[in-house]
Amino acid sequence: MDFNDTPEEAAFRQQVRTWLDANATRKSDDKTSIRARVDDPELLKKAKVWQDKKAQAGYARITWPKEYGGLGGTPIQQVIYSQEEANYLVPLGFFDIGLGMCIPTLMAYCGPEVLGRYVKPALHGEEVWCQLFSEPAAGSDVAGIRTRAERDGDGWVINGQKVWTSGAHYSDYGIIITRTDPGVPKHQGLTMFYIDMKSPGVEARPIKQISGAANFNEVFFTNVRVPDSQRVGEVGQGWKVALTTLMNERLAVGTPAGGVDVDELLELARDTELEDGPAIRNASVRGKIAEWYVQSQGLKYTKFRTLTSLSKGQQPGPESSIAKIVAAPKMQDLGAFAMELMGQAGIMTRDVPGAGAFQQQWMFGAGFRIAGGTDEILRNIVAERVLGLPQDIRVDKDVAFNELGKK
């Protein structure tokens, strides 16, 4: 693995730093960052302004073709920009799904007319996209969805429900996976569309979280009419299209940006007094910190391996799932341990060490272990596609969807 920038990469990094210095505010030592808060409409406005500024400079999506507003650059250049932007106070989180998952799916399956209409507005932050996959009855089984799309003349009528849809309540468009043929095995009867989230019959209901935020939704579809021109891929080939989205999702979700980690936990342990003295001198505390430090270093070098592959023009494969398998439980466990160190103050989210960051991370961690693929799904991916282990037995593989559960 080569951890150093090439001369060309170093020059690009300096170019990015110069632009960011001129257009954004560098973070202070307290590592404060601006994250997407969906209950703050002003932040969405600021995020759109920042996104447009990035797009005008060509930094919004560096690897995209120049005709769609990108730089036509390399994946490693995109990584370099993301690394540098992380050092500045900028609004984050509103466009990750659209630019990381939805638009790349359209680019893979739609024609020039569709791309000419939707890519640049998304890139410049004029329009926000969401991904409508998960359903209450399907769990982690994306192919088990029940939302129906039925032919009606030259269009389709959609009825059903999605859940855990991030940003649906402020999104302009979304990609949706539907069941168009229940008479064939579940993976074969799916079709994907993109829809206007302001269409009659679409209702997004934010789900209040234990943290007080409400950044994802349940979304209901009642006789929503969609023209066939908004179909993504062929009828019945929705699973193939969805795999494109899911692969992009694995890369887009990866490991969470920001948050508290071992350094912050070390600081808390130094400042916390236990019955036998400072927490940092307690053997059990030191052991836990050492364990998470080792995991952090493993994640760091795994990411370096990915960066080295990108710098050579290679694309990450299913092994990218490993990072989230480690990062998500670590994120939740570290937050819980920090709360225990705080004692009774651990249940507070204000006026406590770290301004409640450990508490917020603990509450967010449970959702992160689901978003972008559950722990179990990702382990299966690594087992089957990286280690070459045999697949789980599937008794429903050749059974029509409408026959499932009848026996």
Share of the chain above pLDDT 90, in %: 59
Tell me if the domain spanning 7-94 has CATH number 2.40.50. no
336-372 pLDDT per residue, tens: 999 999 998 888 877 776 768 898 888 888 888 887 7
Show me where the domains of the chain are located.
7-94, 129-241, 254-386
- Average pLDDT over every residue of 291-315: 81
Tell me if the domain spanning 254-386 has CATH number 3.40.710.10. no
- Average pLDDT over every residue of 38-67: 88
Residue 244 has what pLDDT? 85
pTM: 0.85
Distance CA 295, CA 289 (A): 10
Instruction: Report the relative pairing of strands 129-132 and 173-179 from DSSP bridges.
Output: parallel
Residue 251 has what pLDDT? 55
pLDDT over 50 at 34, yes or no: no
Distance CA 104, CA 405 (A): 36
More confident site: 175 or 243:
175
Kindly report the average pLDDT of the chain as a whole number. Answer: 88
Mean pLDDT lowest among 28-37, 213-222, 332-341: 28-37
Q: Is 249 a catalytic residue?
A: yes
pLDDT over 90 at 242, yes or no: yes
Instruction: Report the relative pairing of strands 155-166 and 216-227 from DSSP bridges.
Output: antiparallel
Question: How would CATH label the architecture of 129-241?
Answer: Beta Barrel (2.40)
Residue 311 has what pLDDT? 67
Select which of 85, 127, 249, 264 is catalytic: 249
120-160 pLDDT per residue, tens: 999 999 999 999 999 998 877 889 999 999 999 999 999 99
